[in-house]
Amino acid sequence: PAVRRGNVVIGLVLLVLMGGRCFAPPYSSHVGTTRKSPGRARVSLRATQKDAIQEAAAELTKASYPFMQQVDWGNDLYWTVPGADPIRWARAIGKIIDHGAAMDMELVKAGCMAHHDGIKELSATNAVGACSAEKLTDIYATIGRMIASVPESKTMDVYNAVTALVDKRVPAYLMSSVNEADAKAAYSALIKFTEVVKANPITPSTAPSTVSSDKSKAIEAAADKLASTSYDFIQGIDWSDELYGKTLPGRTAGQTLKAVDSMIMMGAKMDGAALKEAAKAHVTAIENMDAKGVLTQEDYKATLAGIGKTVASVDSESVMNVYDEMAKLVGTTGLPGCVFQRQQGNAFGAYRGLMEFKDTVRDCQPKKVISDAAAELAKASYPFMKQVDWNSDLYWTVPGADPIKWARAIAKIIDMGAAMDMELVKAGCMAHHDGIKELSSTNAVGACSAEKLTDIYATIGRMIASVPESKTMDVYNAVTALVDKRVPAYLMSSVNEADAKAAYSALIKFTEVVKANPITPSTAPSTVSSDKSKAIEAAADKLASASYDFIQGIDWSDELYGKTLPGRTAGQTLKAVDSMIVMGAKMDGAALKEAAKAHVTAIENMDAKGVLTQEDYKATLAGIGKTVASVDRESVMNVYDEMAKLVGTTGLPGCVFQRQQGNAFEAYRGLMEFKDTVRDCQPKKVISDAAAELAKASYPFMKQVDWNSDLYWTVPGADPIKWARAIAKIIDMGAAMDMELVKAGCMAHHTAIQDVEYKSDLVCSEARLAETYATIGRMIASVPESKTLDVYAAVSELVDDKVPKYLMSTGSIREQDAKAAYEALMKFTTVVKANPITACNLPTSISSEGASSISVAADKLASASYPFIKGIDWTDMLYGKTVPGKSVKEALKAVDSMIVMGAKMEGAALKEAGVAHVKAIESMDAKGVLTQEDYKATLAGIGKMVASVDRDSVMKVFDDTSKLVADTGMPQYLFSKQNPSDAMNAYNSFMDFKDIVREEQPGSSRDPDGSTVFLFVGALVAFLATFAVAH
Task: For the chain, give the mean pLDDT.
Answer: 82
Instruction: Encode pLDDT of 362-386 as tens digits.
Output: 888 765 578 888 999 999 999 999 9
Percent of the chain topping pLDDT 70:
86
Whether 913 and 1023 have beta carbons less than 8 Å apart is answered as yes
So what's the pLDDT on residue 18? 29
Amino acid at 190: L
B/e letters for 507-534, b = 16+ CB within 10 Å, e = fewer, are: eeebbebbebbebebeeeebbbeeebbe
Model confidence band, residue 812 (pLDDT cutoffs 50, 70, 90): confident
- Residue 541's nearest CA partner among 613, 599, 628, 617 is 617
Amino acid at position 217, single letter: K
Is residue 632's pLDDT more than 90?
Answer: no
User: What Cα–Cα distance (Å) separates residue 350 from each residue in 96, 323, 341, 947?
Assistant: 29, 18, 15, 38
975: pLDDT strictly greater than 90 = no
Where in 449-555 does DSSP place strands (E)?
none
What's the pLDDT at 126?
A: 55
How far apart are the C-alpha atoms of 755 and 748, rounded to whole Å? 11
Query: What is the pLDDT, as a whole number, of residue 128?
Result: 65
272, 816, 849, 1019 from 1025: Cα distances, Å: 46, 32, 28, 10
Give a three-class secondary structure readout of 46-102: CHHHHHHHHHHHHHHHHHHHHHHHHCCCCCHHHHCCCCCCHHHHHHHHHHHHHHHHC
Work out the burial of residue 297: count CB atoms within 10 Å of its CB; fewer than 13 is exposed, 13-18 middle, 19 or more buried.
middle
**Distance between CA atoms of residues 754 and 427, nearest Å:** 23
Name the region of 717 (left: φ>0; alpha: ψ -120 to 50; beta: rest): left
* Spatial contact of 611 and 558, defined as CB atoms under 8 Å apart: no
The string over 235-267, giving b where at least 16 C-beta atoms fall within 10 Å of a residue's C-beta and e elsewhere, is bebbbbeeebeeeeeebebbebbbbbbbebbbb
70 or 37, which is more confident: 70
Nearest to 242 by CA among 282, 171, 293: 293
Reported confidence tier of residue 464, pLDDT bands at 50, 70, 90: very high
What's the pLDDT tens digit per position in 909-963?
A: 899 999 999 999 999 998 889 999 999 999 999 999 999 888 888 888 888 888 8
Distance between start and end Cα atoms, the chain: 75
pLDDT in tens, 433-447: 988 988 875 555 678
Whole-number Å distance between alpha carbons of 246 and 943? 40
- pLDDT number for residue 12: 32
Pairwise CA distance, residues 510 & 472, whole Å = 14
Q: What is the DSSP string of 712-754?
A: GGS-SSS-HHHHHHHHHHHHHHHHTS-HHHHHHHHHHHHHHHH
Maximum average pLDDT range among 461-465, 807-811, 832-836: 461-465
pLDDT in tens, 77-130: 777 766 657 888 899 999 999 999 999 998 999 899 899 888 888 875 555 678
The band of 619, judged by pLDDT with boundaries at 50, 70 and 90, is: very high
Give 842's pLDDT tier (boundaries 50, 70, 90): low
Q: Which of 134-143, 181-190, 559-568, 634-643 has the lowest mean pLDDT?
A: 559-568
Query: pLDDT at residue 146 above 50?
Result: yes
Q: How many residues does the chain have?
A: 1031
**760 or 399, higher pLDDT:** 760
Residue 46 has pLDDT above 70, yes or no: no
CA distances from 156 to 26, 27, 95, 202, 282 (A): 11, 15, 10, 17, 20
| DSSP 8-state assignment for residue 396 | G
Task: Reply yes or no on whether the pLDDT at 341 is more than 70.
Answer: no
- Rounded Cα distance between 628 and 623, Å, is 9
Instruction: Judge if pTM exceeds 0.75.
Output: no
Dist CA 273 CA 210 (whole Å): 8
Q: Which residues contact 356 (CB under 8 A, 6 or more apart)?
A: 222, 225, 226
What CA–CA distance (Å, rounded) separates 277 from 105? 12
Condensed to tens digits (0 to 9), the pLDDT of residues 876-913 reads: 766 667 778 888 888 888 898 999 998 888 888 899 99
d(CA 86, CA 243): 9
Helix, strand, coil tally for the chain in percent (to 5)? 70, 0, 30
Q: Is pLDDT above 90 for 616?
A: yes
In the structure, what pLDDT confidence band is assigned to residue 678 with cuts at 50, 70 and 90?
Answer: very high
Is the pLDDT score of 201 beyond 80? yes
Looking at per-residue pLDDT, the higher value among 604 and 755 belongs to: 604
CA distances from 661 to 541, 553, 554, 666, 795 (A): 21, 5, 7, 12, 67
Alpha-carbon gap, residue 733 to 1028, rounded angstroms: 9
Report the greatest alpha carbon distance in the chain.
100
DSSP for 569-606 reads -HHHHHHHHHHHHHHHHHS-HHHHHHHHHHHHHHHHH-
The per-residue pLDDT for range 13-29, each reduced to its tens digit, is 333 322 332 333 333 33
Q: How far, in whole angstroms, is CA 208 from its chain's centroid?
A: 26
Lowest mean pLDDT among 432-436, 773-777, 800-804: 800-804
- What distance in Å separates the CA atoms of residue 711 and residue 795, rounded to the nearest whole number? 16
pLDDT digits 0-9 by tens, 698-719: 999 999 888 888 777 766 665 7
For 578, residues 6+ apart whose C-beta sits below 8 A from its C-beta are: 432, 433, 436, 437, 440, 642
Q: Taking residues 560-575, what's their average pLDDT? A: 82
Of 413, 220, 239, 435, which Cα lies nearest the Cα of 342?
239
Say if CB 66 and CB 182 are below 8 A apart. yes
If DSSP codes are grouped into helix, strand and coil, which group holds residue 897? helix
- CA atoms of 823 and 842, how far apart (whole Å): 37
Is residue 172 helix, strand or coil?
helix
Residue 429's CB is within 10 A of a number of other CB atoms, namely 21
| Spatial CA neighbour of 588 closest among 641, 538, 533 | 533
List the one residue out of 1012, 770, 1026, 785 whose CA is nearest residue 898: 1026
Buried b (16+ CB within 10 A) or exposed e, 379-409: ebbbbbbeebebeeeeebebebeebebbbbb
Give the confidence band of 1007 by pLDDT, cuts at 50, 70, 90: very low
| CA–CA dist 618, 624 (Å, integer) | 10
Residues 490, 496, 501, CA angle at the centre, nearest 5°?
85
What are the DSSP calls for 297-342, one per residue?
HHHHHHHHHHHHHHHHTS-HHHHHHHHHHHHHHHTTSSHHHHHHHH
Which of 758, 978, 973 has its CA nearest to residue 883?
973
Task: Please state the rounded mean pLDDT for residues 383-391.
Answer: 91
- Contact criterion met (CB below 8 Å) for 346 and 296: no
Which is more confident, 305 or 313?
305
